[in-house]
A = this chain, B = another copy of it.
Amino acid sequence: MRKGRFLDEADLETIAIGAAILGTGGGGNPYIGRLRARELPRQGLKMEVLSFSDLQDDDVVYEVGGIGAPVVGIEKFEHGDECLRALRAVEHQTGRHATALISSEIGGSNALEPLITAAQAGLPVIDGDGMGRAFPEVQMSTFMIYGIPGTPAALADDKGNSVVLASTRDVYWLERLARQATVEMGAAAGMALAPMSGSQVRETAVPGTLTLARQLGEAVLEARAQRRDPVGRVTELLGGVRLFEGKVTDVERRLERGFTRGQVRVSGLGDFQGESVKIDLQNENLVVWKGDEVVASVPDLIILLDLESGEPITTEVLRFGFRVAVLGVPAHPKLKTERALQVVGPAAFGYSHAFVPLPDIGVNRSTTASKEAADVLDSR
């Protein structure tokens, strides 16, 4: 029998930190998820992680995660079994039992949600996800981008409601109907999507991202303990660029159609004194502007870290006076193909600028996920 790596409480802490970093401001607050997750080993439940090489071609892998607005996630604690009930509803619909779960998005609480659900269901979780970050909408995953059908999918809420999206015209209708049902459910629900085979997961997912999240968390804690620049460690580990440093001078944030939307202004400090940037939000950080110039843009990752502690600053806690570093990190090659840019590029978020990728220096890329592999996917 295959056996993956079992997570302990320390892993949950580091994954939560790393997931918040990769959440690029969104994906839900992972610390609440961590509080829930750490109860599981105490109840004798195990959290097992499998790498891509452990996957069998005929594995039945369901994508699970929370859906909703991060602002709500803080105030509305989940009942605890929403994703599990959503999973059971899709399994009932397809008649196929899950053999493993995978995260829709590694960024934010959705790094931990599948671990919790998998522990409850006695299943392993795959080391990878569909975004390598967080994105606000369901269709914005490498699974959907590369043709895995999203339906049947299911939603379950804290009130005992569960809804199966049996079939939809396309993934945009899946997003639309799921989002509207989530709003009705109180702006937060557990979601499970149609199953994939092991080989489909290997082909389409962003690999190794649970491990990456853990490494990021470990690096931050280590740098803090040694009083060595945690922001620098994160930048280095992700192969990113420090785009800006400054003080948050204005935050405009509103809940709109189930999303947190808004803008943040940051005034420069240190080397950036006298300059300022504006960051657009839709759950996640979308675009960094310096005046009319785009400094960084989706799908590349825009990450705000506390200048001293390296603590990731998520959309819902962001406020005036925070001193932040703004990092730009190149997105995974699977998010930058022509096909992917139609779904997660600037135009998909209503922008008119072309995507100019941040320089990708190839740090921390899993070997199976090279640009060549992404190009093969893109050309299908």
Contacts and interface: CB of A to CB of B under 8 A. Distances in A.
Interface string A162-186: 1111111100010011001101110
A180 B178 CA distance: 11
Contact of A165 (B92, B163, B168, B176): B163
Contact of A93 (B164, B173, B180, B183): B164
A174 to B, nearest CB: 9
Given A181-B180, A184-B176, A184-B180, A166 B163 contact: yes
Interface in A135-173: 154, 159-169, 173
A264 interface: no
Interface in A283-302: none
A154 B89 CA distance: 14
Contacts of A159: 169, 173
Interface of A: 89, 92-93, 154, 159-169, 173, 176-177, 180-181, 183-185
Contacts of A161: 165, 167-169, 173, 177
Given A160-B168, A180-B181, A181-B181, 16 more contacts: A89-B166, A92-B166, A160-B167, A161-B165, A161-B168, A161-B173, A161-B177, A162-B166, A163-B163, A163-B164, A163-B181, A164-B166, A176-B184, A177-B181, A177-B185, A180-B184
A159 B180 CA distance: 17
A173 B163 CA distance: 11
16 contacts: A89-B166, A93-B164, A159-B169, A160-B167, A161-B165, A161-B167, A161-B168, A163-B163, A163-B166, A163-B177, A163-B181, A164-B164, A177-B184, A177-B185, A180-B181, A180-B183
A143 B160 CA distance: 22
A116 B89 CA distance: 30
A184 B164 CA distance: 15
